[in-house]
Structure 1
Amino acid sequence: MRYAFQWLRSLLFIILIYAGMVVYAIAFLPWALLSSRGASAAAHAWCAFVKWLASWLIGLKTEVRGTPPTDEVLVAAKHQSFFDIILIYSALPRSKFIMKQELLYAPILGQYAKRIGCIPVNRGKRAEAIKKMLADVKSGKAEPGQLVIYPQGTRINPGIKAPYKVGSGVLYRELGQDCVPVACNVGVFWPKRGIYRKPGKAVIEFMPRIKAGKPLDEFMAELEQVVETRSNELMAEAGFTGLPTPDSKG
């Protein structure tokens, strides 16, 4: 019975956050059309609404640990569900994401993503995607701020091991910026797919910077070790018991 009530609250929550997306998009539209700052303000306001509604309606609290960067850096984050996007965006002043190209065609979301400077990539053509991504960043098409990339390229369920892709390393090398790793336990409560949302505390944690200038292989190894180790710790803290063992193949 408790599961059924939580499922119904989760369904209502999903309906309300997307209804809220429409309301905020319309309310901020004149400002968003005039300036990318208007689009950013709309996105921040909606993220704050989602966090509040999650706490009030489904009992999902949120916490941001560490120090979110405010300067021009690369942010490389663990990606488990849509909720970690919301938490990261709400914590950063001027973030924009490397995102899959299909999202450009999502109503409202795609239009606002373009306005805040997100960079679409075609994940099916990796070499071309990396080349275009670098070109877009360097040409100034991307707005100033914190560039967020998900090194594994997609949402990964808790307990599943997946490789880190070289695109994040190429960006780190070519941009010559520090990288801020981000760990999370969000997928324990808000799954990659499905309606049910668990109550608890979803955490994202901004880790110490990886300074610019490291060799690509060294950077990739350090990034994966830092993000995976801390994410596993956060998931264990949240009560998740399905973590992979060191010799697990996922």
Structure 2
Amino acid sequence: MMMQWVRSIVFTIVIYIWMAILGLLFTPYALVSKKGALRACKLYARSTIWMARWMVGIHGEIRGPVPTGEVLIAAKHQSFFDILLIFHAVPHGKFIMKRELLWTPVIGVYAKRLGCIPVNRGKRGAAVARMVKDVAKEFAEPGQLVIYPQGTRVAPGVSKPYKVGSAVLYEGLQYSCIPVATNVGLFWPRDGLLRKPGRAVVEFLEPIPPGVPRDAFMRRLETEIEGASDRLMREAGYETAQG
């Protein structure tokens, strides 16, 4: 266990130093071309997934058909690693993100260039309305919009309600919604430095077609994501409430 702690600490230091190096190297390219920002972030995601495998024993795995067209992706969020896995898998992921992250060094600059949509979580009604307006403007360019229906990272075994923002975007965009399940929090938790070896899975589930009424959409979204995430966690040896 002590060696795994050492590996985890070294890994964490390395990936943030690597983020800073890549961010600085690609900044001139990213500022003149959105493709530059996309390539830098793809390289970071791919290399960090690779380093997680050989440095701390986390094997990232993608399951299910990966969406490539204009869709809304509603994903279970357990840690930074599920962000990396989703972004690496889809052609051009754009995330609904906390507005505060825009002021984060490196991440903020690249988030803007990728077309991520910042929201103010402290003003719910205004935030949702602004989010829909910003998304409509941003989707002049193709991509896969990723939203976390629970609004934040949620540790395995913790229950947190699903927010209406996903349904509002689903109705406004009139795109199919792809639910995404995961078990990554068992190996790369939302808090702390310890990274545990294992198979961290992100699974793209069956699309929900446009036109499902709001209440039915929200029930289906939560049922499918939570059910599949529980299945993935049981597969990894975690005893869920249903297990």
| TM-score bin, normalised by smaller chain | over 0.9
Partner of 1:101: 99
| 1:93-118 Cα distance to aligned partner (Å, 9 max, x none) | 01100001111111101111111000
Contact 2:155–2:190 (CA<8 Å) still a contact in 1?
Answer: yes
Q: 2:202 aligns to what?
A: 204
Q: Secondary structure at the match of 1:161?
A: coil
User: May I ask how many residue pairs the two structures share in their alignment?
Assistant: 243
> Which residue identity does 1:140 align to in structure 2?
E
Structure 1 residue aligned with 2:112: 114
**1:47 maps onto 2:39 in alignment:** no
The match for 1:244 is: 241
Which deviates further from its counterpart, 136-145 or 111-120? 136-145
Report the residue type matching 1:189 in the other structure: F
Cα distance in 1 between the residues matched to 2:141 and 2:69: 13
Q: Distance in 1 between matches of 2:122 and 2:3?
A: 40
Alignment deviations for residues 180-237 of structure 1 (CA, whole Å, 9 cap, x no partner):
0100000000111100000001000000100011101111100000000000000111
Unaligned runs of 5+ in 2: none
| Change in CA separation of 1:73 and 1:65 when aligned onto 2, cut-off 3 Å | same
What is the distance in 1 between the residues matched to 2:139 and 2:197?
A: 40
SS of 1:208's equivalent in the other structure is coil
CA distance in 2, matches of 1:32, 1:140: 17
The residue identity in structure 1 corresponding to 2:241 is: P
State, as a whole percentage, how many aligned pairs show the same letter. 54
Structure 1 runs of 4+ aligned residues shifted over 2 Å read: 139-144
Aligned to 1:172: 170
- 2:155 and 2:146 map into 1 onto residues whose CA distance is 19
- Aligned partner of 1:28 among 11, 26, 29: 26
CA contact (8 A) 1:179 1:211 kept: yes
Letter in 2 for 1:244: A
Which residue in the other structure is 1:89 paired with?
87
CA-based RMSD of the aligned residues comes to 1.2
Structure 2 distance, partners of 1:70, 1:88, is 12
**Mapped contact 1:173–1:213 kept (Cα < 8 A):** yes
SS of equivalent to 1:28: helix
Query: In structure 2, which of residues 126, 139, 153 is the aligned counterpart of residue 128 of structure 1?
Result: 126
Which residue does the alignment assign to 1:147?
145
Amino acid at match of 1:225: T
1:156 aligns with 2:159: no
- Which is further off, 103-112 or 71-80? 103-112
Q: Partner letter of residue 75 of structure 2? A: A
Aligned 8 A contact 2:115 2:138 in 1:
no
- Structure 1 gaps of 5+ residues are none
Deviation string 1:48-79 (CA, Å, 9 cap, x unpaired) is: 11011000110111100001101000000000
> What's 1:187 paired with?
185
- TM-score of the pair, normalised by structure 2: 0.97
C-alpha contact (below 8 Å) 1:116/1:143 kept by paired residues: no
Query: More displaced, 54-63 or 140-149?
Result: 140-149
User: Who is 2:215 aligned against?
Assistant: 217
Partner of 1:10: 8
Deviates more, 1:71-80 or 1:141-150: 141-150
Distance 1:230 1:10 in 2: 28
The DSSP-based 3-state class of the residue aligned with 2:108 is helix
Secondary structure of the 2:101 match is: helix
